[in-house]
Amino acid sequence: MPEDCQLDMDRIPQHIAIIMDGNGRWAKQRDKKRSEGHRAGAETVETIIETAARLGVKYLTLYTFSVENWDRPIDEVSSLMELLFDSLKEEMLIKNKLRLQIIGDMKTLPEKIQEKLRECIEDTSHESGMTLVLALSYSSHCEITEATRQIVRMVQKGEITPEEITPDLLSQHMSTRSMPNPDLLIRTGGEVRLSNFLLWQCAYSELYFCDTYWPDFRQKEFYKAIEDYQGRERRFGKTSEQIS
């Protein structure tokens, strides 16, 4: 950790979610192809994963590919899928004792990627370190809609009454039900929006937006985001006096 970094190791966020934005603009700024920006971003992914694991983060969720991303040019989507396949390094996961999980509609991904993901999930299921969650072909709207459908079916079968539908019940039908909600959500690249990412789960997350493009978001920037988080008072609707 850099000498000028003042992180409180007792207050590291348990769950960090990241919207990795700015690969294309990073490439354009350097007169490179967008695919080169994505490859540079993949290097940052590995750096941030290893850094988060060393800091003791329990869950790291990366917005890797959204449902809306399928509407990008075919060449770019194909390039992203190849990069995703190449980036699934089982040895890196095992070296860092990471457990891999996926949220999103995995069955829409190319079959070879589905197979590799299933392999990595199975082979890391026993690991006791950080859980790395990749949001792939993910849409928060779709997730909430599917959770609602499941609950409606329960009502139709008479398993519950409408009055028994609670926020906790809805959370239990989300793809993130096995993990805590994010404490900190980071978005790089200068945009200030959530882009259909973990909308239900981030109701009380601390949000951190920065102008740095994802390929340049290295350890120092990551520490800065956590330092900012540690300087905030999380009240969850209560007063400062109640929290203290």
pLDDT in tens, 206-231: 999 999 999 999 999 999 999 999 99
Of all residues in the chain, the percent with pLDDT exceeding 70 is: 97
Exposed, middle or buried: residue 59 (CB in 10 Å: 0-12, 13-18, 19+)?
buried
What are the chain's domains?
13-139+181-232 (3.40.1180.10)
Tens-place pLDDT, residues 115-129: 999 999 999 999 999
Per-residue pLDDT, averaged over 93-111, amounts to 96
pLDDT at residue 242 in the model: 67
Per-residue pLDDT, averaged over 35-55, amounts to 96
CB 196, CB 66: distance < 8 Å: yes
- pLDDT reading at 5 higher than 70: no
What is the rounded CA–CA span in Å between residue 159 and residue 132?
34
Residue with tokens 């800091």: 55
pLDDT at residue 240 in the model: 73
- pLDDT reading at 1 higher than 60: no
- pTM to 2 decimal places: 0.94
pLDDT at residue 243 in the model: 66
- pLDDT reading at 4 higher than 60: no
> Which positions are catalytic?
21, 69
Q: Which strands make up the sheet holding 59-66, listed edge to edge?
A: 99-103, 131-138, 59-66, 15-19, 184-187, 206-209
